[in-house]
């Protein structure tokens, strides 16, 4: 017989303790310790994924073969994954409720089923009839797409082994439970055991499995951080409820580049890919307005042109406000301090509001120069040229430092019709532009302001 004992598990980080505590000593959150029963298995007991132990092999004697990736009809989705779906991979997709995770995976399942490949779509939150209603809305008609509404882990594992599909979707991992674990579905123990079992199925049978994960109110995937470490790829589906555009972002990928970004538009017939996101982000730009600049940012291996807007106004309070949307809020006061110290702009009594238009989030240092020029443009009420693009990192001494992949950024600017690129002087060597676009190198923020606001 299996013996049971009581333990307390933190639902935020997975920390285990033999006694209850009000504050978790690992993640320092309050009231997250939940009582769970732990079964101590005997020597002859077996788990769902029991298997024979493997033998060590010399790495030089292991035979390898190139397994082609499975591609879908969505090029944006393929690029975020690094070129397609890797056989035997375990992919985690997280996002806010209603953002379109189930819609995206159902569309992908339909495209793979038309290859034709046998696809199993497991829904723990909807019945098969409800899934059929979504499929009718998306005009999905294929006999190779199988739908299953089940949450028991043992039943799911048995169904996958009997059916032997080429592709599996689990929506969502927080609804799956193991019958031998007494905690509720979605708890740390249940999520950890369910993910481990799907990982074993994917690796042993070479079946790519996509699992959907809920997110917390902070935006991170619910459950222990161990969940993201176990899977091969972590994708975040982002977007604002008041906009139709959705961004699929890769934050971890063992088979490709991280921080790749794919953009989709939500319509009645489903998600449609946006092949040229730069045009989407710039289509509503007002030319000749003070405080507006264009920056060429890298999202993984793709250059994207985005508009940065700034509004500088006199403060009526003792402490001026510094607000930022779409970029690190600590970057705004830092760049304002550099402008005040190195460029002589009196900004200490000014409120600053900086925004990246279009709902995209930028986190690379190459946007510093565009943000600084945008702030100076709004403060002086002097517009920049509408066909200028600014690229560069700004140091605390006011210097403009070099950035990576400068050639790709310039090519993207030239493709969209921009006439001039202002970039670091040190980025001028080692390459030559293929187009007639004008390249201007600057060493300091003062030089950039003279060129951009002349």
How far is CA 68 from each of CA 6, 83, 86, rounded to the nearest angstrom? 47, 10, 8
In this structure, the strands spanning 167-171 and 209-213 are: parallel
- Residue 364: exposed, middle, or buried by beta-carbon count in 10 A (0-12, 13-18, 19+)? middle
- Under a CB-based contact definition with an 8 Å cutoff, are residues 384 and 351 in contact? no
Nearest CA to 387 out of 454, 437, 427 is that of 437
Task: Count CB atoms within 10 A of the CB of residue 282.
Answer: 16
Residue linked to tokens 């508009």: 307
Is 101 labeled as ligand-binding?
yes
- What distance in Å separates the CA atoms of residue 233 and residue 140, rounded to the nearest whole number? 27
- What distance in Å separates the CA atoms of residue 248 and residue 416, rounded to the nearest whole number? 23
- What distance in Å separates the CA atoms of residue 374 and residue 391, rounded to the nearest whole number? 12
Is 95 labeled as ligand-binding?
yes
Is 102 labeled as ligand-binding?
yes
Is 96 labeled as ligand-binding?
yes
- Binding-site residue positions: 95-102
- Binding-site residue positions for ATP: 95-102
């Amino acid at each position: 017989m299996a013996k049971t004992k009581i333990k307390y598990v933190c639902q935020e980080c997975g920390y285990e303790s033999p006694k209850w505590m009000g504050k978790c000593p690992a993640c320092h959150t309050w009231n997250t310790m939940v009582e769970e029963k732990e079964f101590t298995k005997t020597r002859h007991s077996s788990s769902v994924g029991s298997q024979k132990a493997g033998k060590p092999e010399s790495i030089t004697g292991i035979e390898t073969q190139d397994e082609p990736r499975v591609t879908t009809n969505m090029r944006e989705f393929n690029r975020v994954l690094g070129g397609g779906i890797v056989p035997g991979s375990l992919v985690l997709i997280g996002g806010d409720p209603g953002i379109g995770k189930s819609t995206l995976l159902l569309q992908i399942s339909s495209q793979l089923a038309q290859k034709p490949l046998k696809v199993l779509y497991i829904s723990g939150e909807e019945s098969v009839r409800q899934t059929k209603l979504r499929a009718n809305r998306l005009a999905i008609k294929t006999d190779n797409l199988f739908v299953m509404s089940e949450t028991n882990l043992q039943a799911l594992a048995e169904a996958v082994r009997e059916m032997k599909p080429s592709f599996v979707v689990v929506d969502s991992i927080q609804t799956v439970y193991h019958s031998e674990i007494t905690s509720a579905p979605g708890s740390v123990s249940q999520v950890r055991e369910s993910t481990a079992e799907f990982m074993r199925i994917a690796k042993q049978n070479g079946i790519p499995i996509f699992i959907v994960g809920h997110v917390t109110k902070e935006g991170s995937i619910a459950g222990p951080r161990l969940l993201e470490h176990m899977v091969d790829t972590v994708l975040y589906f982002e977007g604002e409820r008041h906009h139709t555009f959705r961004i699929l972002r890769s934050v971890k990928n063992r088979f490709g580049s991280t921080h790749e970004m794919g953009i989709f538009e939500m319509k009645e017939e489903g998600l449609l890919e946006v092949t040229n996101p730069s045009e989407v982000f710039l289509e509503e730009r007002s030319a000749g307005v003070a405080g507006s600049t264009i920056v060429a940012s890298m999202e993984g291996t793709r250059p994207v042109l985005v508009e940065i807007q700034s509004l500088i106004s006199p403060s009526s309070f003792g402490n001026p406000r510094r607000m930022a949307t779409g970029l690190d809020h600590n970057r705004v006061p830092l760049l304002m301090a550099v402008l005040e110290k190195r460029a002589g702009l009196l900004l200490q009594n000014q409120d600053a509001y900086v925004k990246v238009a279009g709902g995209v989030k930028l986190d690379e240092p190459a946007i510093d120069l565009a943000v600084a020029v945008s702030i100076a443009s709004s403060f002086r009420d002097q517009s920049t040229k509408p066909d200028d693009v600014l690229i560069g990192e700004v140091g605390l001494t006011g210097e403009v430092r070099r950035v990576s992949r400068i050639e790709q950024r310039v090519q993207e600017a030239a493709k969209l019709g921009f006439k001039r690129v202002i970039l670091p002087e040190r980025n001028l060597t080692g390459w030559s532009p293929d187009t007639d676009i004008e390249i201007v190198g600057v060493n300091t923020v003062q030089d950039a302001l003279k060129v951009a606001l002349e």
